[in-house]
Amino acid sequence: MAALNDTGWAKINLALHVRARRADGYHEIETLFAFVDGGDAIEATEAHADRLTIDGEFAEGLSAGADNLVLRVLALLRERYGASRVPPLAVRLTKHLPVAAGIGGGSADAAAMARLVRATFLPELGDATLARLTGTLGADIAACVASATCLGVGVGEELSPVPQLNLTGTPVLLVNPRQPVATGPVFAAWDGIDRGPLFTGADLRAQLFASRNDLQRAAIAQCPAIVDVLTELGALRPWLARMSGSGATCFALFDSPAERDTAAAEIAQRHPAWWTMTGLLR
């Protein structure tokens, strides 16, 4: 069998409204997911037993054992559909995306693994079925299966399309100060104030301008460098700049690739230690 390949597309939260803290410790949210046309790389071939190797810029410190979401998704699909349909795989994960960065790296990798298995072994599965199965391992995995702009509610796993948000092809710049931010403590530090639902006006930019990321203040308390990143991005005059997820990655949306690339070059010159990625929204 030839090697199978897929990509864990970087996720961004265009907006993230936290509405309530639940009794089980999770939070009710409303979020607009979008995805960038770049991310981690997954490659797999049939083998005698499951095996995961991890390389790339952000591989250090990551577990390649059975607790890794990539292998957990593989085991879940095999348990559901049988070893006769989902054989053992030797998997190589190349980490291009920073870890604990608010851009869904682990969830995106898990979704890529699920799509890879489906492509060859379980072609009858649609996105909705795959999202429902794999979403039990993490709320963001469901959105990452299709990796398309959508609205997520509940804990982020209840998804619906947002056709009015036609963002495909929008130039985007991601910037991270290379400081990991743990998601759990950021949610735990949310101040508990419901600041209202996502705005649902017809005008795209007005809708995004009126939204927010309710985790930003708590993330900045963990990682003050987020303020520096947002300040630098704002000075480059994108039409939207915001922190993604629980941080520390921030994104900026531009009207043209040339504006984005100029901004990326200025960030790289002023802050060579920061991680950056340019791309287009999928």
DSSP 8-class letter at 52: E
């990991």: which residue's tokens?
180
What's the sign of the alpha-carbon dihedral 175, 228, 148, 93? Answer: positive
Which residues are known catalytic residues? 11, 140
Q: What is the C-alpha to C-alpha distance for residues 251 and 213, in angstroms, rounded to an integer?
A: 12
Give the closest residue to 51 by CA, choosing from 33, 35, 70, 37: 70
Give the closest residue to 122 by CA, choosing from 97, 96, 86, 95: 86
Q: What is the C-alpha to C-alpha distance for residues 191 and 184, in angstroms, rounded to an integer?
A: 14
The neighbour count for residue 36, using CB atoms within 10 Å, is 24
Q: What is the C-alpha to C-alpha distance for residues 270 and 107, in angstroms, rounded to an integer?
A: 31
